[in-house]
Amino acid sequence: MAAERRASVTWRGDLMSGSGTIDEVGSGSFGPLDVSWPARTEESSGGKTSPEELIAAAHASCFAMALSHGLAQAGSAPERLQTAATVTFVPGTGITKVALSVRGIVPGLDAAGFQAAAENARENCPVSQALAAVPEITLDASLDS
């Protein structure tokens, strides 16, 4: 079964001095959120989100879901997973790196087992597959006691 997900953006003006708004999303769960080119490309986000931050949120979410599923299927359901994705964007070049990290509380699993499950989730979650053309997707996985 296919699931469609939708988002709409309004942009006003030119690239450098104009700005946009993510007006609405199909779920109605967020928006409006402001976006602009300076907020996207300067070191500080200036309190606005950006395509790269949204990609980071998508990847961290997808990775967490895939990992929880993989762990449960292997008989070690997680109590808690804390994932993060850090996207590096070089204007003019594109997204050069995604750094995934996870800290987990998983009763009955050792570090090697957790590492293997995390590697598998990184390889196979749908967002990782969609972003397979990114030159570097790194992983840092550790268990919390």
In sequence order, what DSSP letters do the residues of 41-72 get, joined into one string?
A: HSSS-TT---HHHHHHHHHHHHHHHHHHHHHH
Sites for other proteins among residues 2-41 (CB under 8 A): 2-15, 18, 20, 22, 25-30, 33-35, 37, 39-41
CA distance 11 to 102: 35
Examine residue 91 and tell whether it contacts other proteins (CB under 8 A). yes
* Binding of residue 107 to other proteins (CB under 8 A): no
Q: Tell me which residue has tokens 């597959």.
A: 129
In the complex, what is the shortest distance from the CB of residue 112 to other proteins, in angstroms, rounded to a whole number? 21
DSSP secondary structure, 81-92, as one string: EEEEEEEEEETT
Q: Which residue among 110, 111, 123, 130 contacts other proteins (CB under 8 A)?
A: 130
Instruction: Classify burial at 85, counting beta carbons within 10 Å of its beta carbon; exposed 0-12, middle 13-18, buried 19 or more.
Output: buried
Q: Which stretch binds other proteins (CB under 8 A): 42-50, 110-118, 137-145?
A: 42-50
- Convert residues 109-128 into a mask of x (bound to other proteins by CB under 8 A) and - (unbound): ---------------x-xx-
Residues 46-85 that bind other proteins (CB under 8 A): 46-65, 68-69, 72, 77-85
